[in-house]
Structure 1
Amino acid sequence: MAQTLVPHFVNDKGVDRILIGVKEFQCMGAAPPHDHPHVYLDMGHDEQIVCPYCSTLFVRDAGLDATESEPPGCVFVATAPPGAPAA
């Protein structure tokens, strides 16, 4: 069974709208430790959705892929803390 990673987005910049290249994703609000509950959002047939926690408007842009956002830097990438064992 193939697994698809669901991208996570953050709004550390505090913008009203973030353009993304996917219709299913998780919003974290801000990067940890200031994140809100990670909520799964699905636009369905729509092209935009508002996060019920942080009120960020996410708009699908077909020109972006799952690892891009506008403004740049809103895709959350988890990193291991220094000294953590490799997976």
Structure 2
Amino acid sequence: MKSFRNAEIQYLIATDVAARGIDVTGVTHVYNYDIPETVESYIHRIGRCGRSGENGYTCLFVDPKNEKMLSEIENNIKLTIKRRTI
């Protein structure tokens, strides 16, 4: 974590537990390789980037079996998440 905070490394892979405790300035991108189990977890995850009025980018990988949770997230945040097929 110290190396990430000091910009000695560019990437950090973290669990949901770490997502709640990370407060690092300058985080511009968050990639979610699995859909969170709750809307609250999603908000904590993406809240790591784009702070203090800065822009941020988040990407959420979702397979068809998790479309229901994706809809719950969208309803809660009142935004439609753009879909892209890979």
Aligning the two structures, in what range does the TM-score lie when normalised by the shorter sequence?
under 0.3
Structure number having the greater strand percentage: 1
Normalised to the residue count of structure 2, the TM-score between the two structures is 0.24
